[in-house]
Structure formats: structure tokens, C-alpha cells
């Protein structure tokens, strides 16, 4: 006797993977938590393997579950398109999740995506988070896309980590490092800045929690010794400290006045290192329509920098 799997069961798997918790998924699906749990157990019994591991922090996909989700997403999306095209039923609520390091152009592209089309319903998430969390989100299907950078220093470690988690990295652009400073900063008049120039000023970086490895830093040249270093957890705090303390951080050089204000400027940093920024996805999993369009809009912001 063959395996019998329903579209509804596949939808359940997709939502649980995205939410990371049975309780949150049940709320989103408008069913009780016990009913959702039983439906997942029935599906796991039907296919003959565990799809999720249950932990104190929520649910995580098993290796087989990760492969199963790849096909489940395709079936659910194609079924939605079929119903919309031939049965004249409205498209279901659009879902999209992206996890990223702290870049303003990531936010700009996200805004453009939602303003571009008149979506009747959507449930989307933008997570600005730590490097390890980005990789974990994509691995466990909480995000379709992850946005992060590699450099000559960290590329071997990051690539190995992605490979071990069955994730692929696709480059978006490469640039020389820039420093972000206040427009009234003593170095603001310089056309290019050196590490020696920066020594008297506080260095600002995003803290990485328990995965506080040099290789997971969001800022290039993380191993350089600094006399003054401040670690923060969000972009707004970092930019306030740039202004208030004449601090600096190192990034791509792409600034959004709309999001970051007109007081922050960028200057090229005179070093040999390069930044390669790109996106990560689960190996072999096709992107849905919103993910593809988001990447196009992200590329537009990069090209117009």
C-alpha cells in the first residue's frame, strides 16, 4: 500500500518549519495545538521517519525532514497557483522570511517588496540577527533566505559551516571595506581612512552572543586590536553611538539616509581585504516567487549604491 499524504498535512509542515514552534504554528493555522501535533505525528508515521525534533526551544527539522520540506513547499506553492489559475480561488496568504546581518539595503528591499504589489494578505518576517542565527534560521526553514558576508579571513570557516548544514552561498556583490562615521567626525574630510587614523576612536561592532568567534563577526578585520571597543545588539544603538561618541564601524559603504539619517557618512578603508556579500539558501530548494522578487530588488539597491 502506498503512502497517503494530503495537501493540508504539507501545509502544516511548512508553517511549523517557518514558525519554529507548534504553538505559534497552531495559532497561525487557526487549529488547536493538540490537533496540529497529532496531524504531524500521523504524517511522520505515514512517511516512516521523524520530520521534526522537539526541543525546549521549539522544533527543529531532522535531516530527512529538511529534505521532505523542500518537496512539501513546492507542492503547496504549485497547488496554490493551480487553484488561483483554474478554480478562481484567491491566492493564499503570502509567506516570506529573510534573516540578515545589519544592512540598511536589506530593509529597503523588504519595504520595496511589500509596496510593489497589492498583497491582500501576507505574513512576512525580517530578522536582523547574529551570524550563527542566520545560518540556523535557513537550515531549519525559519527563513527562505539568509544575507551575510564572507572575506578572505572567514571564507573557509563559513563555507565549511554552510556545507555541513547543506546550505549554498550565492554572491551578490564584492566591495572594499568602508568605515561609517558621523559627518562631523574629525576624519570626515578624508577621502580614504587608514587603520592608523582610527586608533583614537571607539570601534563599534555587533555582539554575537555565545558564538562570539572572530569568524562570525559582522565586521571585517575583527582580529585587529583596538584600545576602545563597544559591542551593541541593534543598528539604531550603533548609529546613535557613532554620532554621540565619534565612534566608527566597518561595513559595505552602502548607506540609506531614509533609514540611518543624514548624519552618517562612509569613507573607504585603506586595507587589502575585500567584502563579498551574498545570500544563503537550503541546498536544492527552489525559491518561491516572493523570495525571487526580493533578491531582484536587493540587487537593484546594490547596483544603485
Q: The domain spanning residue 249 has which CATH number?
A: 3.40.190.290
Write out the H or E segment, with its range, that includes residue 172.
strand 167-175
Q: Determine the average pLDDT of the residues in 174-192.
A: 94
Q: Determine the average pLDDT of the residues in 169-191.
A: 94
Task: Give the residue from 12, 161, 172, 42 showing the smallest Cα distance to 98.
Answer: 172
Q: For the chain, give the mean pLDDT.
A: 87
Q: What is the pLDDT of residues 158-167, one digit of tens each?
A: 999 999 988 9
Q: What is the pLDDT of residues 29-70, one digit of tens each?
A: 888 888 899 889 888 888 889 999 888 778 888 888 888 888
- In a domain? residue 83: yes
Q: What is the pLDDT of residues 280-301, one digit of tens each?
A: 998 888 888 889 999 999 998 8
- In a domain? residue 284: no
CA distance 296 to 290: 10
Share of the chain above pLDDT 70, in %: 91
Domain count, the chain: 2
What pLDDT score was predicted for residue 89?
57
Given a cut of 60, whether residue 148 has pLDDT beyond it is yes
Q: What is the CATH number of the domain that holds 7?
A: 1.10.10.10
Work out whether strand 58-61 and strand 52-55 pair parallel, antiparallel, or are unpaired.
antiparallel
pTM greater than the 0.85 cutoff: no
Q: Which is more confident, 4 or 290?
A: 290
Q: What is the pLDDT of residues 225-250, one digit of tens each?
A: 899 999 998 888 998 999 999 999 99
Lowest mean per-residue pLDDT among 8-12, 126-130, 272-276, 294-298: 8-12
Q: Which is more confident, 141 or 12?
A: 12
Helices and strands: H and E segment counts in the chain: 11, 12
What pLDDT score was predicted for residue 91?
54
Lowest mean per-residue pLDDT among 88-97, 137-146, 249-258: 88-97
Full domain range(s) for residue 213: 174-273
- In a domain? residue 49: yes
Q: How many residues does the chain have?
A: 305
CA distance 233 to 217: 12
What pLDDT score was predicted for residue 197?
96
CA distance 35 to 251: 47
- In a domain? residue 110: no
Q: Are residues 88 and 179 in the same domain?
A: no
CA 267, 169, 304: angle at the middle one, nearest 5? 40
Domain boundary among 42, 77, 92: 92
Given a cut of 80, whether residue 90 has pLDDT beyond it is no
Please state, in angstroms and as integers, the Cα–Cα distance from residue 1 to each residue in 43, 44, 47, 202, following that order. 15, 16, 12, 68
- In a domain? residue 118: no
Given a cut of 50, whether residue 1 has pLDDT beyond it is no
Domain boundary among 72, 92, 112: 92
Amino acid at each position: 500500500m502506498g503512502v497517503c499524504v494530503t495537501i493540508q498535512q504539507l501545509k502544516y509542515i511548512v508553517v511549523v518549519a517557518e514558525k519554529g514552534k507548534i504553538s505559534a504554528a497552531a495559532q497561525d493555522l487557526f487549529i488547536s495545538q493538540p490537533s496540529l501535533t497529532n496531524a504531524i505525528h500521523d504524517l511522520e508515521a505515514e512517511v516512516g521517519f521523524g520530520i521534526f525534533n522537539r526541543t525546549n526551544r521549539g522544533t527543529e527539522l531532522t535531516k530527512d525532514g529538511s529534505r521532505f520540506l523542500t518537496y512539501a513547499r513546492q507542492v503547496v506553492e504549485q497547488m496554490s497557483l493551480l487553484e488561483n489559475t483554474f478554480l478562481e480561488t484567491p491566492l493564499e496568504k503570502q509567506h516570506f522570511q529573510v534573516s540578515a546581518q545589519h544592512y540598511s539595503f536589506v530593509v529597503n528591499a523588504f519595504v520595496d517588496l511589500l509596496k510593489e504589489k497589492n498583497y491582500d494578505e501576507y505574513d512576512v518576517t525580517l530578522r536582523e540577527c547574529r551570524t550563527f542565527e542566520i545560518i540556523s534560521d535557513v537550515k531549519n526553514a525559519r527563513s527562505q533566505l539568509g544575507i551575510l558576508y564572507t572575506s578572505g579571513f572567514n571564507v573557509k570557516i563559513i563555507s565549511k559551516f554552510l556545507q555541513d548544514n547543506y546550505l549554498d552561498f550565492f554572491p551578490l556583490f564584492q566591495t572594499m571595506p568602508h568605515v561609517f562615521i558621523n559627518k562631523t567626525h574629525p576624519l570626515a574630510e578624508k577621502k580614504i581612512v587608514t587603520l592608523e587614523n582610527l586608533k583614537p576612536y571607539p570601534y563599534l561592532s555587533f555582539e554575537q552572543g555565545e558564538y562570539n568567534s572572530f569568524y562570525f563577526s559582522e565586521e571585517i578585520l575583527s582580529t585587529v586590536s583596538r584600545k576602545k571597543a563597544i559591542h551593541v545588539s541593534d543598528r539604531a544603538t550603533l548609529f546613535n553611538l557613532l554620532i554621540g561618541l565619534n565612534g566608527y564601524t566597518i561595513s559595505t559603504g552602502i548607506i540609506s539616509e531614509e533609514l540611518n539619517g543624514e548624519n552618517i557618512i562612509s569613507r573607504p578603508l585603506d586595507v587589502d581585504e575585500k567584502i563579498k556579500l551574498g545570500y544563503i539558501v537550503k541546498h536544492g530548494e527552489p525559491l518561491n516567487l516572493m523570495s525571487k522578487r526580493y533578491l531582484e530588488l536587493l540587487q537593484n539597491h546594490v547596483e544603485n549604491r
